[in-house]
Amino acid sequence: MTTTEKQRQQQADLQKKLWDIANDLRGNMDASEFRNYILGLIFYRFLSENTEQQVEQLLAEDNITYEEAWQNDEYQDVLKQELIARIGYVIEPQDLFSHLVKKIENQTFEIEDLHRAINHIEASTRGEDSEDEFERLFEDMDLNSSRLGNTNAERTKLISKVMMNLAALPFVQGDMEIDMLGDAYEYLIGQFAATAGKKAGEFYTPQQVSKILAKIVTTGKKDLKNVYDPTCGSGSLLLRVGREANVRHYYGQEYNNTTFNLARMNMLLHDVNYHNFSLANGDTLEHPAVVDGQFEAVVANPPYSAKWSADPSFLDDERFSNYGKLAPKSKADFAFVQHMIYHLDDNGKMAVVLPHGVLFRGAAEETIRKYLIEEKNYLDAVIGLPSNLFFGTGIPTCILVFKKCREQDEDVLFIDASQSFEKGRNQNHLADEDVNKIVETFRNRETLDKFSYVSTLDEIRKNDYNLNIPRYVDTFEEEEPVDLDKVQQDIQDIDQKIVGLEEEINGYLKELGVL
């Protein structure tokens, strides 16, 4: 086996085992509820082992264990300082995952031990630079919930079982890379999303869609000063951009509190140092966390046609003020676009997933569309995706790409990838070839038969700024032409046969006395 094959194998194993544990133990609990426990515990184990690795390096030459060092005030101070500077938090020896596992084995573990351990983690960051990244990170893991059991003993028993199962898995060892754990974590998020049904679309963008967005915004770049996702969910789209180019800082905001916690864990699990990401919890449109930053890459998969206040006071908000009209109350799609454009750097690229309606809906949305195309000329490409790609919603979506300084500013590229997919049981999937074809076509900016079209701005004008993809990408299939001469001949031949046959039949009819 080559290294990558081996890694892939290991990763697949890890993912399967994690999902099995989750399924075995969740009992009567809703997938979305149990998710918080299993993801929280994986994260806790990761933080513990990360601490142990750092301590091992720090104490490498001192010939002393972590526990012994902790007993010594001088050592303790230095360790604390170093750990905070390096990883942003401290886990004391008696709070380590491995220590609690020992207690479970010795049957001295109480659920309170875990409670205390995770509280200590958060407490260790208080007053430090990392405070924001760790604040209330574990709050979704409610260890007092009766869902885990009615008594302390029952809760202790269930959590012990989960921890022992997790302890049995290899995490970051030998040739297993940290990304694998991060990916396994994301895989779980995806699996939970897939089983959670309707609400799931909110916190999970399918990897292949993320990949397209990431490849688009990193086109021609190896290094990005920063990337911003105003509706970042669990952060997978941001991390995906980090895979296509070196990202120096990640910015994001997420409305849902639990998902926001997942995003922070996801960052850390993917080895993004707490210095290098700034995520915020809250409503991006009403209470933006990012107010004046400009970003080299802006990506998002915002909630489709969400409601927002569309309060007239927004007309004074610089994000929306130039367009003349606000996105309608019942469809915030363009409000997100406007917010993103406001934060897009002049040399930056932006890609956003939206429902098809943004392409052709009238009224205020038409005004905004027209402004973006005619006044600003920011629209660079429109990519139609197949329907039924997302969890919990079947509607077809599209990707809009915007740039402030366009290289080819006389035209707009349209791609119709609506037929490029593999059919799945509940969902359609984009295959790697589909992703590559879309990205290649985008990068080459070429017209391909029945797939893409480079349209002049004039054509868009003639279509009254209606961007409905079939108007540009011609998918017309010629009808099979009829050979009129042959048909005529056939009709005559048959007529002749009928004449002969009718004579014969008439012969019979006369015999029968019917004719």
Is 81 a binding residue for another protein by CB under 8 A? The answer is no
Using only C-alpha atoms, the chain has a radius of gyration, in whole angstroms, of 30
Dist. CA 40–CA 21, nearest whole Å: 14
Q: Is 513 in the site for another protein (CB under 8 A)?
A: yes
153 or 491: whose CB is closer to another protein? 491
Q: How far apart are the two ends of the chain, measured CA to CA in Å?
A: 87
CB-based contacts of 215: which residues, under 8 Å, 6+ apart? 244, 435, 439
* Touching another protein, residues 89-148 (CB under 8 A): none
Considering beta carbons, is residue 168 or 395 the nearer one to another protein? 395
Which range, of 171-179, 339-347, 444-452, 479-487, touches another protein by CB under 8 A?
A: 479-487
377 binds another protein (CB under 8 A): no
SS (H, E, C) 95-107: HCHHHHHHHHHCC
Which range touches another protein (CB under 8 A), out of 32-40, 167-175, 404-412, 505-513?
A: 505-513
From candidates 13, 248, 470, 515, binder to another protein by CB under 8 A = 470
How far is Cα 200 from Cα 255, in angstroms, rounded to an integer?
14
Stretch that binds another protein, among 44-52, 178-186, 263-271, 392-400 (CB under 8 A): 392-400
H/E segment holding residue 352? strand 344-355
CB of 402 to another protein, least distance (A): 22
Among 27, 170, 394, 424, binds another protein (CB under 8 A): 394
170 binds another protein (CB under 8 A): no
By CB under 8 A, residue 476 contacts another protein? yes
Biggest alpha carbon–alpha carbon distance for the chain: 125
CA distances for 131 relative to 300, 306, 405, angstroms: 26, 32, 38
Q: Would you count residue 495 as binding another protein (CB under 8 A)? A: yes
- The CB-of-475 to another protein minimum distance in angstroms stands at 8
Q: Name the minimum Å distance from CB 79 to another protein.
A: 58
In sequence order, the 6+-apart residues with CB closer than 8 A to the CB of 145 are 155
Q: Is 501 in the site for another protein (CB under 8 A)?
A: yes
Q: Which residues contact 191 (CB under 8 A, 6 or more apart)?
A: 19, 22
Measured distance CA(184)–CA(473) in Å, rounded: 39
Contacts of 67 (CB under 8 A, 6+ apart): 93, 94
Q: How far apart are CA 13 and CA 72, in angstroms?
A: 41
Using CB under 8 A as the binding rule, the residues of this chain from 314 to 373 that contact another protein are: 355-357, 360
CB atoms within 10 A of CB 394: 11
Measured CA angle at 104 (ends 178, 11), to 5 deg: 25
Specify the DSSP element, H or E, that contains 367.
helix 363-370
Q: Which is nearer to another protein, 282 or 355 (CB)?
A: 355
**Which of residues 57, 431, 488, 515 is near another protein by CB under 8 A?**
488
Is 12 a binder of another protein (CB under 8 A)? no
In 3D space, the residue among 48, 1, 33 whose CA is nearest the CA of residue 181 turns out to be: 48
Which amino acid is residue 474, in one-letter code?
D
Going by C-alpha positions, the residue among 288, 49, 40, 35 that lies closest to residue 173 is: 49
Contacts of another protein in 404-443 (CB under 8 A): none
Q: Does residue 152 belong to the site contacting another protein (CB under 8 A)?
A: no
| 505 touches another protein (CB under 8 A) | yes
Using CB under 8 A as the binding rule, whether residue 387 contacts another protein is answered as yes
447 lines the binding site for another protein (CB under 8 A):
no
Residue closer to another protein, measured from CB, 407 or 480: 480
Q: Does 487 bind another protein (CB under 8 A)?
A: yes
Q: Is 291 among the residues that bind another protein (CB under 8 A)?
A: no
Starting at the earlier edge strand, list the strands of the sheet with 379-384: 277-281, 250-254, 227-229, 295-300, 344-355, 397-403, 379-384, 411-416, 452-456
The residue (of 357 and 392) whose beta carbon lies closer to another protein is 357
Kindly state whether residue 514 participates in binding another protein, applying the rule CB under 8 A: yes
Tell me the three state secondary structure of residue 33. Answer: helix
Give the nearest distance from C-beta 359 to another protein in angstroms. 9
Q: Interacting stretch for another protein, rule CB under 8 A, among 71-79, 94-102, 166-174, 489-497?
A: 489-497
Site membership for another protein, residue 502 (CB under 8 A): yes
Query: Cβ 477 to another protein, closest distance in Å?
Result: 8
Torsion angle defined by CA atoms of residues 113, 114, 115 and 120, in that order, rounded to the nearest 10 degrees: 90
Q: Which is nearer to another protein, 78 or 487 (CB)?
A: 487
Q: Does 497 bind another protein (CB under 8 A)?
A: yes
291 vs 512, which CB is nearer to another protein?
512
396 contacts another protein (rule: CB under 8 A): yes
Residues in CB range of 383: below 8 A, 6 or more apart? 212, 398, 399, 400, 401, 414, 415, 417, 438, 442
Can you tell me the distance from the alpha carbon of 94 to that of 100, in angstroms, rounded to the nearest whole number? 8
Q: Does 458 bind another protein (CB under 8 A)?
A: no
Residues 401, 389, 189, 12, CA torsion sign: negative
Smaller CB distance to another protein: residue 123 or 487? 487
Binding-site size, another protein (CB under 8 A) = 35
Min CB(252)–another protein separation in Å: 28
Binding region for another protein (CB under 8 A) = 355-357, 360, 387, 394-396, 466, 468, 470-471, 476, 479, 481-484, 487-488, 490-491, 494-495, 497-498, 501-502, 504-505, 508, 511-514
